Each structure stands twice: as structure tokens, then as C-alpha cells.
Structure 1
Amino acid sequence: MRPLKSVVYKRIPRPDPALIERARKFGIADLHEGLGAVAGRMCLMSPRMQARQNGQGTVVGPAITAWNYPGDNLAIHCALEVAQAGDVLVLTNGGGHQGALWGDVACGFAKKQGLVGTVVEGAARDIDAIRELGFPIWSTAVSVEHPEKRGPAAVNVPLTVDGVLVEPGDVVCADTDGVLIIPRALLRHAVEGAEKRARAEVGIRARIEAGERPFDILGFREAAAEMGLEIKDCSWQDDA
């Protein structure tokens, strides 16, 4: 069995900047739907991953990944050494609350370096101070518990974060609704799907404004008839 060895990869494969800019026009709901039913679910983190800022807008950028030993956060400092402006840090210690992975000092440095957000499977702390900094973060927990800085650590390796595979250079899309990880190979597909969905919704909103009902616009009336759905003009008590 090979011993556990700490490693930091300085470089990541980077997504097309033009596609990143197109993705920034959408919330993660549009990009999630743009990926399709299967990939969209596979790439979406759970509701445990909570935005810790209010009204922070949408963050889109390449993932810099950092694996931290439980109770330790050495890897985040290694990640901050190699991250570039526009990147998003994606941190995990396996999801436990032991040892806060992220706090206001690291946050202030990340903002100064031009990073655009941090996603933490684990605990963040100094939330009020981070909110004052205006730096977007997401985490699965809040805890002030002391972190060691002894390692082992790994940076820019594939990770499973809140049940989602994250490879270095994958595109992190996050807003108040949650966190979506788009593989680089699927970025164009997700963006084009989101653009198509946005165009369709413009038409739907216009038809609603003109007096039509979503039940008819979306074809639910026909679908309801096909499935044998009964619509009864009475209460359930009257029908009992």
C-alpha cells in the first residue's frame, strides 16, 4: 500500500473564457436545466451547501480543488498559493465540522487576489466578518472549531464534494439557490441549453402577461387528460 503523500499541482486545464462569460448571464437554475435531467442532477450539490452571503449574485469560475485532512486546513493555504484571479476554491475535509476550513483572514486574501468565491464541504467561520468583506462563500456547516495546519494535503486533484465529482478546471456556478459543477466538456452544452431555455421563458412570460395560463401554455391540460386526471368542482369532503 502506497503511503499518503501530500501534493500540489500548480496548473489546471482551463475552460474557454468566452463560455465562462456566457455562463455568467444565468443563474444556476437555468444552467442546471440546460445540462438536462440526468447530468443536471449529477452536477448539483445538495441543499446542505448553503450560501453564507445575502444577495451575493452569481459566481462562475474554474475550480481550484483542495483536499484537507479532517481537522486540518493546510490545503486551503496551498490552494491560495496557486489560485488565479477569477478562480473559485472548492474545499473539502469529507464534510465534517471538525476544524474550520475557511475564515475571514483567508477570505480577505482571496478577495485581494481576485478570486470570485469559495465552496466548502465542511465548516466556515467568521461569517459576520466575511459578510462585511462581501466575498461569496458557500458551506455545509458553520463552526469556529480550531483547525490544525499539519497536513496531509492535496491541491488540484479530483475530489468528491457533497456527492459531486469536481475535477480541477471544472466550472463552478453558484448563487443563492446553491452550487452546480459543470464539467468542462459539458460547458458549451449547458450554456446553449440555458440560452434556449431563457428565450423560451421570454415567450412564456409574454403570453402570461397577455392573459394565458401556464397550465395551457405548457400543455398540462392535454397531459392531464391523457393521464386520466380528474378535475372536480367540489371539495374533497363533499366527494367523500
Structure 2
Amino acid sequence: MTHRSDWPAGYFIGERGPQADAALVDAFRKLPVPNIGDCMGRSTGAMGLTAYHNDANLVLCGPALTVKVRPGDNLMIHKAIEMAQPGDVIVVEGAGDLTQALIGGLMRTSAQTRKIAGFVIDGAIRDLNEWAEGGIAVWARGNTLRGPSKEGPGEVNSRVSCAGLVVSPGDLIVGDADGVIAIPYDQLTTLLPRVEAHALREAKIRASNQSGTSDPERFNAILRAKGCPV
């Protein structure tokens, strides 16, 4: 096995991360991202990203293939696309830089051919009209017409920090109209039943709200506990 010390400074291509069972991925695909976030402490989730795929109903759910790049350079993203398996989500640490786009329409075409599920980019994209055609998800920090360099350095399949998310290869990325979240691989099996139960509780509350039978004690008890007489 190749070790990081064998690579030139600033360059590294690691092994794929662990791959979640397909049934587990499908189960998370059916759950709203806010419910997942609620069960992860309400303090995790990508910040400052915009969906550019023009499809509010599109759900992104797949294992992370991670990339770390120098701001404005996409050499290692090209390598990640070449390495990707169907259903992968390419997650890019790009330092939030908006001076040069990291991916565009031509890379979108390559990604579609390889059946990549989508991209989460802490940086800029371009060719917005093509991304708006849908068919592949993309969240990014912003956009610019200015293209990237292809010199490196960069890394593939190392731990990255992307828009407030810490993501390791193989972590499950889930994205919907509300945003994007990363679930550590080793938490998937324990988290799933908690999120499913949370979704059921919310469905019951929603039904009582709609019928006008919601219980005021739900919040009155909290107020009394804080010393507020109600």
C-alpha cells in the first residue's frame, strides 16, 4: 500500500473509504436532511452553499469521495472524477475561494457519464445554464466565469473541511432542498433508527397542528420549568 510519505509534498491520492450498504443509503435517501441534523445535535450541516441544479425535489445521497485543492485549481478534481464509482458524491475543500471556478459544464458531462451523484464544492462553479438542466446535483459557495488552473497540488481521499463539514472518505453525504449534511460512516447504523423515529414524531405533531388539536402543554411545561407562570 502506498503511504502518504511516498508522495511528493502537497500531492496525495488515497484509497476509497468504506462503502455503506445500499439498503442503508436508500433508507437515508427517504429522510429529510433537517431531521438528520436534529438527531446529530442541531449543530452540523454545510453553511453558505447554494444549490445550482434547479431541482428542489432532487435528493443527493451517496458516499463521499473527498478532494482537497489549492484555491482556483482543479487538477485533483479531474482525478477524482476518473476514480469515482456510480453514486459517489465528490466533496471538495476549496477554501471558499470564488476567484476561479473549480468545475464547469464539461466536467459535469464527464460526471454524468460516470453516474456520479453530485458535487459539494466549497468554492465556485461556472456554466450555470448547464447545471440548471438538472440530472446531477451541485452545491457550491458561488459562481464565476473565470476558469481554473490545472497544476495542483491537491489530495484525493483524505479528510477535508468543506463549508463547515468535516468529511472523511466514505462518509454519507445527504442533500435536499434544505441543504447538505455529512454522516460519519461509523455512525450510520446507530443514527438511522433515531432519525426514522424523529420523522415519525414530527409527522404526528404535524397532524395535530393541522387538526387544531396540538397540546399547549408541550411548550407551557418548558416555560414553567424556566420560572415563567403560565
TM-score normalised by L of structure 1:
0.86
Give 3-state SS (helix, strand or coil) of 1:114's partner: coil
TM-aligned CA deviation for residue 214 of structure 1:
5.6
Bigger Rg, structure 1 or 2: 1
**CA–CA distance in structure 2, aligned partners of residues 140 and 31 of structure 1:** 22
Separation of aligned partners in 2, 1:52 and 1:214 = 40
Call closer, same or farther: CA 1:32–1:8 in 2, change over 3 Å: same
Distance apart, 1:44 and its partner CA: 1.2
In structure 1, the partner of 2:16 is: 11
* Equivalence for 1:131: 132
Residue 177 of structure 1 deviates from its aligned partner by 1.1
Q: Pairwise CA RMSD of aligned residues?
A: 1.9
Which residue of structure 2 aligns with residue 238 of structure 1?
none
After superposing on structure 2, the runs of 4+ consecutive aligned residues of structure 1 that deviate more than 4 Å are: none
Query: Does residue 94 in structure 1 map to residue 95 in structure 2?
Result: yes
Q: Is the 2:16–2:65 contact (alpha carbons within 8 Å) kept by the matching residues of 1?
A: no
**SS across alignment from 1:85:** coil
Deviation of the 1:133 alpha carbon: 4.2
Partner of 2:223: 224
Instruction: Select between 201-210 and 72-81 the one with higher mean Cα deviation.
Output: 201-210
- Find the counterpart in structure 2 of residue 22 from structure 1: 27
Question: Matches of 2:148 and 2:208 in 1, distance apart?
Answer: 55
2-structure distance, mates of 1:57, 1:182: 19
Could you say what secondary structure the match of 2:150 adopts? coil
On the 8 A contact 1:125/1:143 being kept in 2, the answer is: yes
For 1:12, give the aligned amino acid: G
1:161-184: CA deviations, max 9, x gaps? 122211010111111211101000
1:64-87 CA distance string (max 9 Å, x none): 011111221101100001110011
Please state how far the C-alpha of 1:154 moved relative to its aligned partner: 1.0
Moved more, 148-157 or 127-136: 127-136
SS at match of 1:148: coil
**What amino acid is the match of 1:16?**
D
Q: Unpaired runs of 5+ in structure 2? A: none
What CA distance in whole angstroms lies between the structure 2 residues aligned with 1:21 and 1:151?
Answer: 35
Query: Aligned equivalents of 2:158 and 2:95: distance in 1?
Result: 14
- Look up the match of 1:235: none
Unpaired runs of 5+ in structure 1? 232-240
Give 2:13's aligned amino acid. Answer: V
Q: Deviation per CA, 1:118-168, whole angstroms, max 9, x where unpaired?
A: 000000111111111432100011112221101112111111112221101
Partner of 1:213: 214
Which string of whole-angstrom CA distances, capped at 9 and with x for unpartnered residues, describes residues 172-225 of structure 1?
A: 111121110100011123321110011112322332343213644xx1012223
Tell me, yes or no, if the aligned pair for 1:170 and 1:183 is still in contact at 8 Å. yes
* Distance in 2 between residues matched to 1:156 and 1:202, nearest whole Å: 38
C-alpha distance in 1, partners of 2:53/2:10?
35
Q: For 2:103 and 2:185, locate their aligned partners in 1 and report how far apart those are by CA, in whole Å.
A: 26
Question: Aligned residue for 1:145?
Answer: 146
CA contact (8 A) 1:34 1:192 kept: no
Contact 1:73 1:99 in 2 (8 A): no
2:76 alignment partner in structure 1: 75
CA distance in structure 1 between the aligned counterparts of 2:85 and 2:141, rounded to whole angstroms: 24
Report the residue type matching 2:14 in the other structure: Y
Aligned to 2:51: 51
Give the letter for the 1:33 counterpart. D
The match for 2:180 is 179
Amino acid at match of 1:68: V
